Amino acid sequence: MSSGMKIIEEQQKPIEKLQIYPTSSSGVSSFWREKYERDAKKYWDIFYKHHGDRFFKDRHYLDKEWNSYFSASEKKVILEVGCGAGNTIFPLIAIYPHIFVYACDFSPRAVDLVKAHDEYTETRVCAFASDLTRDGLEKHISPSSVDIVTMIFVLSALSPEKMPLVLQNIRKVLKPNGCILFRDYAVGDLAQERFSGKDQKISENFYVRGDGTRAFYFSNEFLETLFFEQGFEVEEIGVCCKQVENRSRELVMNRRWVQATFRRSNANKSPCDSAKLDQSEQQNNIQPKSEEQERKKIVDDTDIDISDGLAMEMFEASPSSHEIYVVQLRNSAFEIKLLSKEYQHTCKSTGLMLWESARLMASVLDRNQNIVSGKRVLELGCGCTGICSMVAARSASLVVATDADTKALTLLTENVTTNLESSLLGKLKTGVLEWGNKEHIDGIKGLACGGFDVIIGTDVTYVAEAIIPLFQTAKELMGDSEVQEKPVLILCHVFRKVDEGSLLSAASLFGFKLADRWSVNSREFPIGNIIDRWFSEKDLVAEIPSSALHILYFQIE
């Protein structure tokens, strides 16, 4: 059965309001889980490309927290796992002249930052790129030669399934009785709480941030079991707590992290042997915590290396999650604030970005003001940019920009205020419009005193279930069709899941007739001579952002 026939069958069903933007928290789909795993190195590489060595604070607290492990007079070999830009390495070599540090990270860009540091010298530091879930450390480091391994906010970036592989890799180069100094995110951290209710959960205590990097939140029990099964004994472990206050933003953030020391157990006992122990044996082998270690669980004055900047990034409340995009047209230019490209792949709202169809229609309206001059104009699914509406406001009598996403409308209001002259602000109104929602439709129609002469939609045809409500809503918001110039509906889009036949079938259900069609590559089936006139200027054709774009021009029959 063709998709067009499927839509025709919908004629028998009552029209229901449609919420295009998902509201459930179903978590990350299997497709994205696999992509985040496969491209983990790429996302961290992009992270360091944007932030360089400015994001994390130098970790000077290692001297205070673990001085006894570094302070011995003999030369010690250190391995820093997940070295990042060197925020652990360089404070260490500045304090302890007798240590040599191997530093690895699976982001080549991070390793380049370490090597470019003023204090990097091959006599003290050896930095190399390595994915410890796949690449053996023994390619760079002699077996059983490392005294201390530091793992500071690094294991959390890996999927729980890959963590045992990393510990097995580390164990091969760690000396018998060598130790791991560990600090990482704890269950209950504010960053984890902020993920609640969002579709960013990959698995239990494991989430993806807006930039594609991931974060796991550890419990003591999880860590003790994980390290014990890979041949490590718990020397000390505790949960640290601290309130981080950002006075300029009036934020108080309750941060929680686990701090622990693990020691490589008896060399004659392999990880496989340890894994065979039953639960009671595991409990017997885990060293009981001393009174001093128990007191370490809650700490108020411990240094924390997570900068306010990182905290804000993790909570997705940072201005850096947005960027300014300049849309340059012949007769106008707009500075549009929208979601940064690095965050768009995890954002459910399609309204927080700029689509090529909107750029094309804005260029068309910019050169052909007669399309909207003196008319009442409605934009459906305008998103946060609203560039078509802002261009139309120059000559239209009224413009109403609508979207179902309130976040997009909030950002739209900011963009309109920033870009439009004060004399035009009164002509452009914004409103929430969920297609098929009678209350919303009546409210929007009331703004136009009876209906609209021109309705524009750019890339609003990508969801098959939304097509019927789209045309039904457009029909109800059309003005009087008996006037000399009939109201029109203009759709500009790239065909994705809904083909042209399906659109035409749905349009006919509500009395819409295709008066003209246009695409950049194909004009074999001209219907009218309406849209071609819009592209009479050759330089406008050169501005077309994509050869896949199409325009459909409807009138009420």
- Strands 174-185 and 201-203, bridge-based pairing: unpaired
The pLDDT score that the predictor gives to residue 279 is 41
- The residue type found at 51 is H
What tokens appear for 35 in the block?
A: 């992509």
Distances, alpha carbon 28 to alpha carbons 21, 153, 161, 203, 315, in Å: 15, 23, 17, 8, 17
Q: What is the pLDDT of residue 290?
A: 45
Write down the pLDDT at residue 55. Answer: 57
Question: Residue 13 corresponds to which amino acid?
Answer: K
The Cα 530–Cα 516 span in angstroms is 7
Contacts of 457 (CB under 8 A, 6+ apart): 379, 380, 381, 470, 474, 489, 490, 491, 492, 493
Helix (H) or strand (E) holding 406: helix 406-419
* Angstrom distance (rounded) from CA 483 to CA 4: 31
Q: pLDDT tens digits for 514-534? A: 999 998 776 545 566 899 899
Q: What pLDDT score was predicted for residue 483?
A: 53
pLDDT of residue 52: 64
Q: Measure the CA–CA gap between 96 and 194, rounded to whole angstroms.
A: 39
Q: What are residue 264's DSSP bridge partners?
A: 232
Domains of the chain: residue spans and CATH: 30-185+198-239+257-309 (3.40.50.150), 351-556 (3.40.50.150)
Give me 244's structure tokens. 């981080």
- Considering Cα of 177, then 181, then 186, then 192, what sign does the dihedral take? negative
Distance CA 309, CA 54 (A): 10
Residue of 230, 236, 231 whose CA lies nearest to 265:
231
DSSP code at position 519 = E
Determine contact, residues 153/184, Cβ cutoff 8 Å: yes
Q: CA 345, CA 212: separation in Å to the nearest integer? A: 8
Residues of the chain with pLDDT under 70: 1-26, 51-58, 60, 72-73, 196-198, 244-253, 267-321, 341-349, 481-484, 522-528
Residue entry with tokens 């894994």: 275
Question: According to the model, what pLDDT value does residue 297 have?
Answer: 42
- The DSSP bridge pattern shows strands 454-458 and 488-494 to be parallel
Q: Give dist(CA 233, CA 225) in Å, integer.
A: 10
Q: How many residues are present in the chain?
A: 557
How many other C-beta atoms are found inside a 10 Å radius of the C-beta of residue 408?
27
Supply the angle between the helices 108-115 and 40-51 in degrees, to the nearest 10: 40
**Per-residue pLDDT tens for 368-423?**
999 999 999 999 999 999 999 999 999 999 999 999 988 899 999 999 999 999 88
Task: At 436, list the tokens.
Answer: 């098929």
Question: Which stretch of DSSP H or E encloses residue 223?
Answer: helix 220-229
Q: Give me the pLDDT at residue 311, please.
A: 43
3-state secondary structure 157-199: HCCHHHHHHHHHHHHHHEEEEEEEEEEEEECCCHHHHHHCCCC
H/E element, 246: strand 232-246
CA distance 448 to 396: 12
SS3 call for 245? strand
pLDDT of residue 510: 95
Q: Is the pTM of this model over 0.75?
A: no
Q: How far apart are CA 156 and CA 207, in angstroms?
A: 10
Q: At what angle do helices 163-173 and 220-229 cross, to 10 degrees?
A: 50
Task: Identify the CA nearest to 282 among candidates 201, 212, 221.
Answer: 221
